[in-house]
């Protein structure tokens, strides 16, 4: 299956620029997820790849061929839309076979294909229903089926799960993951939901404000976020950020702020030593904070609870640390003094430092 390359992709509506030069290479048969808040340009990028939006500047290469001037149908793509975009006047079978019928494929072949796809998606009983007679989840499946019957080299998904309720979304997400393992194709998927991005992607592309913030495997991005935006966007509950300053005391490197002073591990200290005296943001995920009353003072945060959210096995605590907010997680069975101060040990590997002004990781 072809390799897709974006080169200096720019999109302007009049004088308003929404994409500022997107460069990206997607490997063959890769599941790429564009993720970012609404208005970040992820859908626009997808629609430009699809050919539904014109390219202002730059070029899209599919298999080395520039395609930005080609019609969507010449690009060998299938797409699943956010609102499913089913043809309301056609039944499920007709919806799924529309492209094939336009290609004048023999009827027997179409029927065989439709029944095979319907089988895998559990739509066999609904082939003669119209979209209006289906539930949201079923419509979603039809939209998926319509893309699958095409046998295109590339599948585009534009927030396909965002119109489903939470339970169904989880279920469909799992099915999608299964499908992507079975069908080895290029998949490009747009979502604002970081959980979808983390669970489905081979490669995540985090976008914000019309720029790519960072791209890489979910693990890479989670472990080594390039900047504060990526760090805060991926992970649930989100990373905590505390303002502080890098200081050096008797050869050791500390991050010091209101109510905390954290000694950096050797590895981190090496990187931070050059920035001594600089204002930084200390980032640490709730999962890297462990309740430990006996932790060393320079390896922990001392916090007091503001709000406690019981969610079953876990309790999420919104706490105050020297005037700054910190979220921590705790097993609900651990007894704690709700009115006193709690000490949480910091996993030294989980410390992230960002320049305060540029927000870029040090």
Partner 1 sequence: MNIANKANRLTPYVFMAPAAIILAVALLYPIGYMIYASFLDWSPSQRIGEADFVGLRNYVNLMHDAAFRESFWVTVKFAAVVVTLEMFIGVGLALLLDRNIKGMSFLRTIFILPMMIAPIVVGLMWRYMYHPTVGIFNRTLKDWGFEGIPWLSDSTWAFVAVVMADVWQWTPFIFILSLAAMQSLPRSALEAAEIDGASDMQKVIHIKLPLMLPVLIVTLMLRLIDAFKVLEVIMVLTNGGPGLSTEIVAMRIFRTAQEFQELGEAAAMSNTLLMVLMALTIGMFAYNKMQEGRAAKMQAMAAKGTA
The residues binding partner 1 (CB under 8 A) are: 50-52, 71-73, 77-79, 81-89, 98-99, 102-103, 129-130, 132-138, 146, 150
Measured from the CB atom, the residue of 47 and 228 that comes closer to partner 1 is 47
The strand ranges marked E within the chain are 4-13, 16-26, 31-35, 57-62, 65-66, 77-80, 154-158, 186-191, 203-208, 211-216, 240-249, 252-257, 260-263, 279-284, 289-291, 300-310, 314-321, 324-331, 341-346, 351-355
CB of 133 to partner 1, least distance (A): 4
* Alpha helices (H) along 205-349: 218-223, 228-233, 266-273
Contact 344, 301 (CB under 8 A): yes
Measured from the CB atom, the residue of 150 and 263 that comes closer to partner 1 is 150
Measured from the CB atom, the residue of 86 and 198 that comes closer to partner 1 is 86
CB of 34 to partner 1, least distance (A): 18
CB of 89 to partner 1, least distance (A): 5
Contact 63, 26 (CB under 8 A): no
In angstroms, the CA 117 to CA 92 distance is: 12
Measured from the CB atom, the residue of 99 and 353 that comes closer to partner 1 is 99
In angstroms, the CA 280 to CA 289 distance is: 19
In angstroms, the CA 279 to CA 110 distance is: 64
Measured from the CB atom, the residue of 128 and 184 that comes closer to partner 1 is 128
CB of 328 to partner 1, least distance (A): 39
DSSP class of residue 136 equals H
CB of 118 to partner 1, least distance (A): 16
CB of 185 to partner 1, least distance (A): 15
Q: Provide the 10 A C-beta neighbour count for residue 226.
A: 19
Tell me the sheet residues that pair with 343: 302
CB of 53 to partner 1, least distance (A): 10
In angstroms, the CA 338 to CA 354 distance is: 32
CB of 79 to partner 1, least distance (A): 5
Measured from the CB atom, the residue of 128 and 338 that comes closer to partner 1 is 128
In which residue are the tokens 């989670």 written?
222
**120, 72, 70: which is closest to 96 by C-alpha?**
120
Measured from the CB atom, the residue of 97 and 191 that comes closer to partner 1 is 97
Measured from the CB atom, the residue of 34 and 81 that comes closer to partner 1 is 81
């Amino acid at each position: 299956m072809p390799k897709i390359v974006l080169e200096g992709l720019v999109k302007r509506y009049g004088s308003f620029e929404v994409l500022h030069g997107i460069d990206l290479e997607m490997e063959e048969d890769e599941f790429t997820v564009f993720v970012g808040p609404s208005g970040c340009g992820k859908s626009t990028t997808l629609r430009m790849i699809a050919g539904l939006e014109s390219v202002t500047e730059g070029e899209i290469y599919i298999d080395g061929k520039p395609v930005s001037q080609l019609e969507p149908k010449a690009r060998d793509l299938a797409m699943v839309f956010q609102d499913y975009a089913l043809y309301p006047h056609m039944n499920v079978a007709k919806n799924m076979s529309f492209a094939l019928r336009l290609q004048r494929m023999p009827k027997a072949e179409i029927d065989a294909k439709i029944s095979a796809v319907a089988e895998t998606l559990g739509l066999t009983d609904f082939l003669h229903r119209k979209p209006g007679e289906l539930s949201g989840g079923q419509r979603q499946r039809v939209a998926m089926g319509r893309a699958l019957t095409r046998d295109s080299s590339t599948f585009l998904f534009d927030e396909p799960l965002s119109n489903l309720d939470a339970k169904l979304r989880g279920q469909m997400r799992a099915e999608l993951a299964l499908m992507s393992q079975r069908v080895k194709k290029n998949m490009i998927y747009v979502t604002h939901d970081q959980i979808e991005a983390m669970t489905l992607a081979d490669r995540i592309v985090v976008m914000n404000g019309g720029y790519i913030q960072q791209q890489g495997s979910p693990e890479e991005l989670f472990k080594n976020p390039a900047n504060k935006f990526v760090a805060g966007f991926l992970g649930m509950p989100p990373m905590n950020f505390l303002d502080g300053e890098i200081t050096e005391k008797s050869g050791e490197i500390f991050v010091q702020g209101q109510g905390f002073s954290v000694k950096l591990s050797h590895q981190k200290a090496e990187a931070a030593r050059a920035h001594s005296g600089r204002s930084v943001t200390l980032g640490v995920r709730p999962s890297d904070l462990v309740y430990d009353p006996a932790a060393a003072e320079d390896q922990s945060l001392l916090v007091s609870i503001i709000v406690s959210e019981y969610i079953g096995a876990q309790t999420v605590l919104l706490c105050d640390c020297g005037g700054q907010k910190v979220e921590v997680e705790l097993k609900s069975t651990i007894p704690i003094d709700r009115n006193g101060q709690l000490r949480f040990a910091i996993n030294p590997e989980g410390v992230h430092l960002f320049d305060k002004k540029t927000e870029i990781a040090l």
